[in-house]
């Protein structure tokens, strides 16, 4: 597929690198020649120097043949105009990154459709939604529902005293009531475990479960399901405003903001929240504002370092759930290794969303979730596929993959060695990165 990406900022670069390793034809356009030179020399893609809103530049970047045009410069006006130009040149689909929540309103969508902008991406909104999910299931690292929640993918970080730790997987089945251990992230790398693998303290374990197993799993993992009432937000950024707008009915929110000017404007934007002027890194201030009674602490300032450290401090105060915005992609895995509940990164959220848009266009691949170095794919089994020939345990499947669950006739099932896959099933497959193409053969 031919994809033109305009704007080689962090989102643009991340997308370009990711998509070029997925064997897509990528052309990256930016004004900054130096920024492009490094990518051009090291990645299998083409770059063009020029303004994102110039007809000549876009024509030169073969926008006319593009299946997808993505505008992710820092300026929403430029993105919208670039998309319009691209559409007039012949791009099939266009995506623009925006900064204005109003634009997402369904009433306004036809306006953008008419003007050649097919999809709008608002990273702050995506971040707020992500935080909302995280607050509902405080005990999980990741919660992903497939087929209207028939199958659920849950990631849990296991602590030293959890009863599952130290056991081999083959001995765990009765305890878990059938939940499938699909992948384990251990010290920055992901493994697909077999029956003889042992669960270690500090592992992030990915379980595939059906809804009825959720409570059992939570207890076995030794986790409490805290109901969050009081939230403390550090930094009055756009995400904070969006979040306050979404959540203020159900939660008590305090926003701590250092900048007085920002503080003055905040009450208008989030009327139901308490605004506190001060530095959230100051412990006295936190205590005074009742950090000990807060159930969740969300750090959303510009500085990733401050966010990480503030979350660690909040943990010390006994806050159950901490969420940090980490914009430096390099810091993410470090932050994960520390005890921070959920990490938010606008760039990765935006690129995941674009990835999903891409998949909607490109029906062949059906990957829906990227983990650190593994992929989760939902694959429909074709008639006569190799995978249907025998029971799972007799199939000698490659070691880089495992099947977590399947949806048959609208009902979710967990897969184990005794399962036989039937044509028409929708299976949830975990595999290590770079193996998706090998695995697709099994299902066709």
The distance of Cα 130 from the centroid of its chain, to the nearest Å, equals 8
Directed axis angle between helix 33-42 and helix 10-20, to 10°?
A: 20
Distance CA 293, CA 384 (A): 58
Which region, judged by CB under 8 A, interacts with other proteins, from 30-38, 107-115, 209-217, 220-228?
A: 30-38
Q: Does 343 bind other proteins (CB under 8 A)?
A: yes
Query: Of 73, 258, 345, 402, which one interacts with other proteins (CB under 8 A)?
Result: 345
Q: Does 2 bind other proteins (CB under 8 A)?
A: yes
Q: Which is nearer to other proteins, 25 or 440 (CB)?
A: 25
Q: Does 390 bind other proteins (CB under 8 A)?
A: no
Distance CA 105, CA 92 (A): 23
Distance CA 297, CA 291 (A): 8
For β-strands 180-186 and 204-209, DSSP reports them as antiparallel
Which region, judged by CB under 8 A, interacts with other proteins, from 228-236, 297-305, 341-349, 396-404?
A: 341-349
Residues 6+ apart with CB under 8 A from 255: 233, 235, 236, 240, 244, 266, 270, 273, 274, 275, 276
Q: Does 433 bind other proteins (CB under 8 A)?
A: yes
Query: Of 165, 352, 358, 385, which one interacts with other proteins (CB under 8 A)?
Result: 352
Q: Which is nearer to other proteins, 289 or 400 (CB)?
A: 400
Residue 128 CA: distances (Å) to CA of 11, 17, 433:
18, 26, 28
Query: Of 53, 182, 208, 351, which one interacts with other proteins (CB under 8 A)?
Result: 351
Q: Does 55 bind other proteins (CB under 8 A)?
A: no
Q: Does 26 bind other proteins (CB under 8 A)?
A: yes
Residues 6+ apart with CB under 8 A from 411: 150
Q: Does 337 bind other proteins (CB under 8 A)?
A: no
Which region, judged by CB under 8 A, interacts with other proteins, from 17-25, 172-180, 231-239, 295-303?
A: 17-25
Q: Which is nearer to other proteins, 49 or 200 (CB)?
A: 49
Distance CA 423, CA 431 (A): 21
Residue that has been written with the tokens 């997402």 in this structure = 104
The distance of Cα 46 from the centroid of its chain, to the nearest Å, equals 27
Residue 149 Cβ, how far from other proteins at the closest point, in Å? Answer: 19
Q: Does 333 bind other proteins (CB under 8 A)?
A: yes
Nearest to 95 by CA among 68, 134, 66, 75: 68
Binding mask 138-177 for other proteins (x = CB under 8 A): ----x-----------------------------------
Q: Does 348 bind other proteins (CB under 8 A)?
A: yes
Asked if 270 and 248 touch (Cβ cutoff 8 Å), the reply is: yes
Q: Does 43 bind other proteins (CB under 8 A)?
A: yes
Q: Which is nearer to other proteins, 36 or 421 (CB)?
A: 36
Q: Which is nearer to other proteins, 1 or 395 (CB)?
A: 1
Binding mask 170-189 for other proteins (x = CB under 8 A): ------------------xx
Q: Does 41 bind other proteins (CB under 8 A)?
A: yes
Binding mask 354-383 for other proteins (x = CB under 8 A): -x-------------xxxxx----------
DSSP H or E segment with residue 443:
helix 436-443
Query: Hey, how many other C-beta atoms are within 10 angstroms of the C-beta on 91?
Result: 26
SS3 81: helix
Buried b (16+ CB within 10 A) or exposed e, 365-385: eebbbebeebbbbbbebeeeb
Q: Does 349 bind other proteins (CB under 8 A)?
A: yes
Q: Which is nearer to other proteins, 26 or 286 (CB)?
A: 26
Site residues, other proteins (CB under 8 A): 2, 14, 20-21, 23, 25-27, 33-34, 37, 40-46, 49, 130, 142, 188-189, 329-330, 332-333, 336, 342-345, 348-349, 351-352, 355, 369-373, 433-434
């Amino acid at each position: 597929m031919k994809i033109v990406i305009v704007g080689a900022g962090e989102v643009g670069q991340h997308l370009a690198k990711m998509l070029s390793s997925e064997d897509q034809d990528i052309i990256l356009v930016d004004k900054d020649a130096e920024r492009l030179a490094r990518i051009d020399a090291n990645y299998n893609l083409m770059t063009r120097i020029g303004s994102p809103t110039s007809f000549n530049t876009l024509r030169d970047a073969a926008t006319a043949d593009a299946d997808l045009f993505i505008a992710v410069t820092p300026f929403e006006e430029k993105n919208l105009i670039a998309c319009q130009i691209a559409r007039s040149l012949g791009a099939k689909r266009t995506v623009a990154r925006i900064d204005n929540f109003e634009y997402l309103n369904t009433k306004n969508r036809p306006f953008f459709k008419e003007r050649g902008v097919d999809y709008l991406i608002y990273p702050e909104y995506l971040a707020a939604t992500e935080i909302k999910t995280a607050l509902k299931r405080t005990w999980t690292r990741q919660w992903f529902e497939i087929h209207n929640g028939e199958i659920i993918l849950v990631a849990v970080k296991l602590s030293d005293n959890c009863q599952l730790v130290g056991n081999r997987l083959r001995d765990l089945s009765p305890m878990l009531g059938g939940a499938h251990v699909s992948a384990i992230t251990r010290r920055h790398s992901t493994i697909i475990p077999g029956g003889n693998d042992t669960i270690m303290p500090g592992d992030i374990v990915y379980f595939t479960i059906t809804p009825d197993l959720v409570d059992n799993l939570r207890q076995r993992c030794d986790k409490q399901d805290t109901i969050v009432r009081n939230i403390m937000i550090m930094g009055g950024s756009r995400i904070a405003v969006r979040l306050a707008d979404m959540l203020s009915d159900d939660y008590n929110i305090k926003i701590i903001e250092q900048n007085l000017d920002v503080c003055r404007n905040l009450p208008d934007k989030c009327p139901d929240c308490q605004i506190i002027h001060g530095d959230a890194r100051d412990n006295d201030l936190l205590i005074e504002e009742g950090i000990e009674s807060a159930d969740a602490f969300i750090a959303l300032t510009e500085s990733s370092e401050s966010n990480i450290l503030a979350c660690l401090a909040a943990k010390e105060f006994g806050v159950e759930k901490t969420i940090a915005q980490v914009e430096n992609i390099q810091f993410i895995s470090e932050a994960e290794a520390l005890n921070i509940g959920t990490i938010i990164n606008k760039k990765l959220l935006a690129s995941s969303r674009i990835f999903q848009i891409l998949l909607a266009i490109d029906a062949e691949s059906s990957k829906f979730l990227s983990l650190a170095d593994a992929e989760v794919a939902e694959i429909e089994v074709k008639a006569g596929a190799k995978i249907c020939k025998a029971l799972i345990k007799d199939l000698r499947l490659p070691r880089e993959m495992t099947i977590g669950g399947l949806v048959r006739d609208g009902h979710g099932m967990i897969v184990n060695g005794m399962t036989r896959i039937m044509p028409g099933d929708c299976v949830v497959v975990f595999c290590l990165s770079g193996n998706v193409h090998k695995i697709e053969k099994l299902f066709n």
